[in-house]
Structure 1
Amino acid sequence: MLLAADVGNTNVVFALFDFESDGTYTIRARWRIATDPRRTGDEYAVWLLQLLKIEGFERTDITQVIVASVVPRADHNLTVLCEKYFRITPLFAGQGSARWRFAIDVDQPSSLGADRALNILAAHTKYGGDLIIVDFGTATKFEAVDFTGAYKGGSIAPGINLSLDALVGKTAKLPRIAIRAPSSRSVIGRNTEDQMLIGVFWGYVAMMEGMVAKMKSEIGRPAKVVATGGLAILFDDATDIFDHVDADLTLDGLAILARQAEAI
């Protein structure tokens, strides 16, 4: 079985994949922990090995490990986890046999984050054609991928929670609110909390729709829009720009990349 770890700025997501002989795979379990570069390999092990047992798996069931990381300070401790407790040297996405096999047609190819590259790989493999990927994470990323699978560029905007944190943190009287879909589609709020929610939520929808429209215009061909990330579902009912909402896109990219590396 494959253990995959997606190390983001906010959380680390571990997923356990079971592969069939024809290359298809199933996610058998997934677990999430807050990202902390100081967390040691031993601390990861105490947490992860217990969760494996709860789900009915043994550490010996794991035969391959792949890690995608945008937090370099966490990489060493994850390597210790894999080598000490699973006796496996992990693959790191974008390196060695797990290098990217699609064209990165931008000015600084090496600056493309592993999470963005995995989304590109998975979206092209699963959906094909020209694509726009919208990933709702700590930051919201927009990616343009052509029909050959080449990455053509994109943009990065503050995530909606970052926007809300900035709004609350830089004002004296505005309260902290939870992000949710407003109860109506009206953009004229009747109290402070509703006005904040409307401004953040519908303002974000307007930004997304505007960005996607501009990207489609620049691409000049029909492009499917794929949304992923934790808040994709939140916006799905508020707009019709998404052709696919795929919460597991990054994890799928890790599974696809691990199979490619294994074939070398």
Structure 2
Amino acid sequence: MILLFDIGNTNTHVGLANARRIVRHTDIPTNGWRHGAARHALTRFVGSTRVEGAVICSVVPHVTPLVKKATRSLWKLTALELTPKTLRGVGIDYPRPQTIGPDRLANAVAARARFGAPVVVVDFGTAVTFDVVNARGDYVGGVIAPGLAAMTDYLHEKTALLPRIRIREVKSAIGKSTEHAMLVGAVTGYRGLVRELIGELRRELKARRLPVVATGGYAKLIAANLPEIEAVEPLLTLEGLRLTWLAQV
């Protein structure tokens, strides 16, 4: 089995995979790597499974060496880190490749493998990111916008009367309470943002067909009434890591 680590700001998404698929996965709080909690959770997750390799993508640089240290001490493995230099499966046509988030590269690898090129990935995380692979199969850039929860939390934190809300679907576009009005702006308005950006990307790429795949925490909610999104793939980043490992061996 191969260990997959997608190290994010809030959680580290960990998977176990074989040559065909991701077998199981879990989330471990990223701040737990600073003490023993994350390592303990990792050993419980892996159990007695034989681990033969590990691959990492990380947007939290100070945590990366802690995860590498754990794989060395627990399984005597040197983890492969996904970077522009270790990337396989897509090319890069971007001015400063080292500034691309490794999770975005993993998403691009998995999306191209499944949907071909061109393709767009929309990742609904702390920020929402759009990542574009052109018809030649090159990662060419994308878009970054505030995440859904970040926007609503900001409204709560910067105003006296707006509450913190639980993001969910709304049926009416006319808010009948403060919370309802905020949900309309968040969910329905967010779909408008995503739809418009997809349209702009399609026009710029001059693509007659442009598959769009969504991943991340709010992907299922936003994609539910957004026909521009062709598929929702919750494990897209881990799948990109799995494919990256297979391309190296």
- TM exceeds 0.5? yes
Please tell me whether residue 234 in structure 1 is matched to residue 229 in structure 2: no
Identity %: 33
Letter paired with 2:57: A
1:100 Cα deviation from its structure 2 partner: 4.4
Q: Is the 8 A contact 1:44 1:81 kept in 2?
A: no
Give unpaired runs (5+ residues) of structure 1: 20-24
**RMSD value, Cα:** 1.6
In structure 2, the partner of 1:5 is 5
SS in 1 for 2:91: coil
Give distance in 2, aligned partners of 1:72 and 1:123.
Answer: 25
Letter paired with 1:104: I
Please tell me whether residue 142 in structure 1 is matched to residue 130 in structure 2: yes
Letter paired with 2:185: G
Question: Which whole-Å deviations, capped at 9, do the CAs of 1:143-175 have from their partners, x for residues lacking one?
Answer: 121122201221100100100111110000111
Question: Which whole-Å deviations, capped at 9, do the CAs of 1:159-203 have from their partners, x for residues lacking one?
Answer: 001001111100001111101111x1x321111110111111111
In structure 1, the partner of 2:117 is 129
Letter paired with 1:81: A
Q: 1:213 aligns with which of 192, 199, 202?
A: 199
Please tell me whether residue 157 in structure 1 is matched to residue 152 in structure 2: no
The residue correspondences of 1:77-88 to structure 2 (distance < 5 A) are: 77-88=66-77
1:129 Cα deviation from its structure 2 partner: 2.5
In structure 1, the partner of 2:176 is 190
1:106 Cα deviation from its structure 2 partner: 1.9
Between stretches 106-115 and 162-171, larger displacement belongs to 106-115
Give unpaired runs (5+ residues) of structure 2: none
Q: Is the 8 A contact 1:45 1:85 kept in 2?
A: no
TM-score (norm 1): 0.89
Give distance in 2, aligned partners of 1:242 and 1:102.
Answer: 21
SS in 1 for 2:34: coil
Please tell me whether residue 31 in structure 1 is matched to residue 26 in structure 2: yes
1:95 Cα deviation from its structure 2 partner: 6.6
SS in 1 for 2:15: strand
Give distance in 2, aligned partners of 1:229 and 1:176.
Answer: 21
1:104 Cα deviation from its structure 2 partner: 1.6
Please tell me whether residue 102 in structure 1 is matched to residue 90 in structure 2: yes
